[in-house]
Amino acid sequence: EVQLVEAGGNSVQPGGSLRLSCAASGFTLRSYWMHWVRQAPGKGLAWVSRINNDGSGTGYAESVKGRFTISRDNAQNTLHLQMNSLRAEDTAVYYCAREYSGGLYYWGQGTLVTVSS
C-alpha cells in the first residue's frame, strides 16, 4: 500500500525556519516525481514545489522561490522541504504528493505549519 507521511510541522515565529519531511512507503520513491502542496486555513489548494525523480530538476511557486528548497533522499525514501524566512502567509497544512501522469494521485495527510509571533 502506498503511504506518504508528513512530519515536521510546528509553530514558528516570523523569520524562522522549519524542515518538513515526507516518508514514503509501499513504492520506490526514486521512480516518481514528487510535489509539495499547501492549504491555508479555510482557503484553496496552492502548489508549492516539484522535484524530479533524481533531484536534478526542481520548480517553485513564485511566493516561495528563494525561501523554500525541495530535496529528496531516495535511499531513505524521504522527501524534504526546507522553509526559511517564514511569513504569516505561509501558515497552512502542507501536503506531499506523488505525481502520476501529470496529476497528484497519492497524497499524505498533511502537516500543519503555523507562523505567528
Partner 1 sequence: QSALTQPPSASGSPGQSVTISCTGTSSDVGAYNYVSWYQQHPGKVPKLMISEVSKRPSGVPDRFSGSKSGNTASLTVSGLQADDEADYYCSSYAGSNVFVFGTGTKVTVL
Residues near partner 1, by CB under 8 A = 35, 37, 44-47, 50, 52, 57-63, 95, 100-105, 107-110
Comparing CB distances to partner 1, the nearer of 83 and 104 is 104
Q: Give the residue with the Cβ less far from partner 1, 10 or 105.
A: 105
111 vs 96: CA distance, rounded Å? 9
CB of 38 to partner 1, least distance (A): 10
Nearer to partner 1, 6 or 18 (CB): 6
> How near is the Cβ of 92 to partner 1 at its closest, in Å?
13
Nearer residue to partner 1 within complex by CB, 39 or 77: 39
CB of 20 to partner 1, least distance (A): 16
Q: SS in 3 state form for the chain?
A: CCEEEEECCCEECCCCCEEEEEEEECCCHHHCCEEEEEECCCCCEEEEEEECCCCCCEEECCCCCCCEEEEEEHHHCEEEEEECCCCHHHCEEEEEEEEECCEEEEECCCEEEEECC
